Amino acid sequence: MTYLDELAAAKRARRVWGCPCGADNPPSYDACHDCQRPSWTCANCGTVNATVWSHCQECDNAIPAENLGDREEGFEMSWEEHTALQVGPRRVGGRYDHGYTDSEYEVLAIDRGPRESWPSWQITVRGKDGEAREHCTGWDPRRDRIVAQPPADVTVVSIGRLHDDAEGEWADVLTRATIALDLRPFRDPHIRADLRQLTAHDQVVRDTVMNTPGVRLLLAATALQIQGYLAGPAVAPMTVVTQCAGGRHRSATAAMALRSVVSGDIEQAATYGLADSAKAFSGRGLVVNLIHRDLERDVIER
């Protein structure tokens, strides 16, 4: 069963867990499909939550101590982490809904603060009545929903060249790429029998790819290239394509790593050894979409 099939089944059963990056995930996923942020399951009610939430989003039960990670003084959020949770997946230009009648609104501005006076952070929205309002109401994944996200500043697409004959929205993505990154010269995890049926959703695959000599340097250089395009005459939106043979290991891992870097998620980028690259994008608030064209396709024996 593919991610989309599992997600559809989970939505019908109302068992989806939401990640602060905006992605929805089936309860069987122990990490976010898009950003790979891990999850924890509430022992009280069984609800699956992203580890960035310190309390269960269903029953408010506290996160188990073993899920706190290596934070020396317990679960203490930085200001950036706290604001990210409050803002949620909302982006300037996007449309969202509080879940009540006629409660759809458009986001006009987001001030992440910290501000000298209350509120410490602020969001400006325009409702259906056309009036602009300012408030600091946090995103609630149990109630709020995304109506339409704004166009991405950067779209990262992973593909497998063995599937170039497949049809679909991203079939011709190479002809539209601002940057096309080829990872086929690097060692292919497919040659290992224990990795062949796995994908970049598995930690062992991501570790194998990122520990391949040269891959981390290549991605750091690509991040610099993206900075150049964003700063130069070729402005966003831009498309970055990562390529390998099957699209399940090297290109998918590289795409995940680049998404964490360009979105300025230093903590997540650190898991790929690219924290320094992410610092250059921190605070820019770029909207980054991640697309895996071929990750869910069957393994091609070769």
pLDDT at site 125: 94
What's the confidence (pLDDT) of residue 73?
43
Predicted model pTM: 0.66
80, two tokens: 């950036």
φ/ψ (deg, to 5) at 252: -65, -45
pLDDT at 74: 44
**How would you classify the pairing of strands 122-127 and 132-135?**
antiparallel
Domain positions in the chain = 3-67, 88-148, 154-292
Q: What is the pLDDT of residue 75?
A: 46
Asked if 250 and 207 count as a contact pair (C-beta separation under 8 A), the reply is: no
- In the predicted model, residues of the chain with pLDDT beneath 70 are 1, 52, 54, 64-78, 234-236
pLDDT at 272: 95
* Gap between the Cα atoms of 271 and 107, Å rounded: 31
